[in-house]
């Protein structure tokens, strides 16, 4: 999703927000986006930032983005500073790890609306009637990635690659990443029951060097396709795919599009990306908030059926995907949407 450049983008580390005058009467609603990491990952956080830019343009919002860095000990104080400033009636943040912090902070600021994407609070055990949580059914996209990866392996479509092995590189073994992995494994095994799935974690969302080394090892064991679910760490996996002449499936954003101008050879090695349409989900949430219809005090689960999960089309890699594999992916997609195909998940209660 494209939009005009964000007018008020600030990088602050450590995060500090000085007290300021309250928004003037009739001024555009002020929104703060707290990133528990950094922009520039060509993936999850950049997708969220696109959504905020689009919402700013479409809904006439005043927006500020704060990058909290990768030190988790600073995230709670950063969130408290934003809420305590009184300058932002709406605070957006995301990822599984921010859920407990929002749950801790939000009850102290009932006048602030918290929008938590890709994470949840425990509404039973906190006074979080001012929090809207959205969870993505990323396992559904992972399933489609597994069908594609195993289908290519079985078809012998990748020179030098084994017909019975696929790979996954994850950032950390946390529930959100494991949900991708659960779907991926199910899709691969449904396509090729005897397939070997090499899975390894880099234990970081921001370590491309480690991601690259893990990917090189998997490609060296005959893997033809790796699904990278690793944030900025995944940039190293993409580099390894280019160097090895193998393929990778990206995550969260259309990663081939992000590389097409700067590195077309690298882009051609990205078969597709499992897109978690965080940008569209953020625009939707802010639009509902402006209309007074945001379901505060609730969690919504969003997946293929709602258009919140999907696969990117990469014309540069299209010839690498046989028609039969495309047909299998399309059939799986329709089965998930229709409800005739159930996908395993790391969140057992998370169903459409």
Report whether pLDDT(26) > 70.
Answer: no
Q: What are the CA-CA distances from residue 192 to residues 74, 146, 311 (Å)?
A: 45, 10, 20
Asked if 102 and 119 touch (Cβ cutoff 8 Å), the reply is yes
Q: Does residue 1 sit within a domain?
A: no
H/E element holding 91?
strand 90-94
Whether residue 217 is found in the same domain as residue 283: no
Domain that holds residue 20: 9-136+278-302
Report pTM: 0.81
Q: Does residue 146 sit within a domain?
A: yes
Start-to-end C-alpha separation, the chain = 25
Please compute the mean of the pLDDT values over residues 108-128 and round it to a whole number.
96
Whether residue 121 is found in the same domain as residue 22: yes
Please compute the mean of the pLDDT values over residues 4-14 and round it to a whole number.
32
Q: Which residue has better confidence, 10 or 70?
A: 70
Q: What is the pLDDT, as a whole number, of residue 72?
A: 94
Please compute the mean of the pLDDT values over residues 233-259 and round it to a whole number.
95
Whether residue 183 is found in the same domain as residue 248: yes
Number of independent structural domains in the chain: 2
Cα–Cα distance between 244 and 239 in angstroms, integer?
Answer: 9
Q: What is the pLDDT, as a whole number, of residue 41?
A: 81
Q: How confident is the model at residue 29 (pLDDT cuts 50, 70, 90)?
A: confident
Rounded to the nearest 10°, the torsion over CA 209, 214, 215, 217 is 130
Whether residue 270 is found in the same domain as residue 152: yes
Q: Does residue 127 sit within a domain?
A: yes
- Map residue 318 onto helix, strand or coil: helix
The per-residue pLDDT of the chain, averaged, comes to 90
Q: Does residue 187 sit within a domain?
A: yes
Report whether pLDDT(139) > 90.
Answer: yes
Q: Does residue 344 sit within a domain?
A: no
Please compute the mean of the pLDDT values over residues 38-52 and round it to a whole number.
88
Cα–Cα distance between 301 and 289 in angstroms, integer?
Answer: 17
Whether residue 291 is found in the same domain as residue 224: no
Percentage of the chain exceeding pLDDT 90: 84
């Amino acid at each position: 999703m494209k939009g005009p450049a964000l007018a008020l983008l600030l990088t602050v580390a450590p995060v500090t927000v000085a007290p300021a005058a309250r928004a003037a009467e009739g001024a555009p609603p002020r929104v703060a986006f707290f990133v528990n990491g950094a922009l520039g990952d060509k993936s999850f956080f950049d997708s969220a930032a696109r959504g905020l830019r689009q919402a700013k343009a479409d809904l006439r919002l005043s927006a500020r983005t704060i990058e909290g860095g990768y030190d988790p000990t600073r995230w709670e104080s950063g969130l408290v500073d934003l809420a305590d400033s009184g300058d932002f009636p709406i605070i957006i943040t995301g990822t599984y790890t921010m859920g407990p912090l929002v749950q801790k902070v939000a009850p102290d600021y009932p006048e602030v609306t918290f929008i938590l994407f890709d994470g949840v609070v425990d509404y039973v055990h906190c006074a979080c009637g001012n929090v809207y949580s959205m969870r993505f059914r990323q396992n559904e996209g992972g399933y489609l990635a597994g069908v594609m990866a195993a289908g290519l392996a079985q078809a012998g479509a990748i020179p030098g690659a084994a017909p019975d092995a696929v790979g996954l590189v994850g950032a950390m073994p946390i529930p959100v990443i494991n949900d991708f992995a659960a779907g991926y494994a199910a899709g691969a095994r449904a396509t090729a029951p005897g397939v070997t799935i090499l899975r390894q974690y880099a234990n970081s969302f921001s370590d491309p060097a480690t991601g690259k080394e893990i990917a090189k090892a998997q490609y060296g064991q005959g893997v033809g396709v790796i699904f990278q679910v690793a944030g900025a760490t995944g940039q190293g996996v993409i580099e390894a795919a280019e160097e090895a002449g193998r393929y990778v499936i990206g995550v969260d954003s259309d990663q081939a599009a992000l590389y097409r101008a700067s590195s077309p050879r690298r882009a051609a090695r990205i078969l597709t990306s499992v897109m978690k349409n965080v940008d569209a989900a953020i625009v939707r949430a802010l639009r509902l908030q402006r209309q007074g219809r945001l379901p505060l005090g609730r969690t919504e689960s969003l997946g293929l059926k709602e258009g919140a999960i999907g696969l990117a089309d990469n014309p540069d890699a299209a010839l690498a995907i046989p028609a039969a594999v495309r047909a299998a992916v399309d059939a799986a997609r329709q089965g998930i949407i229709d409800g005739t195909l159930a996908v395993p998940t790391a969140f057992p209660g998370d169903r459409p």
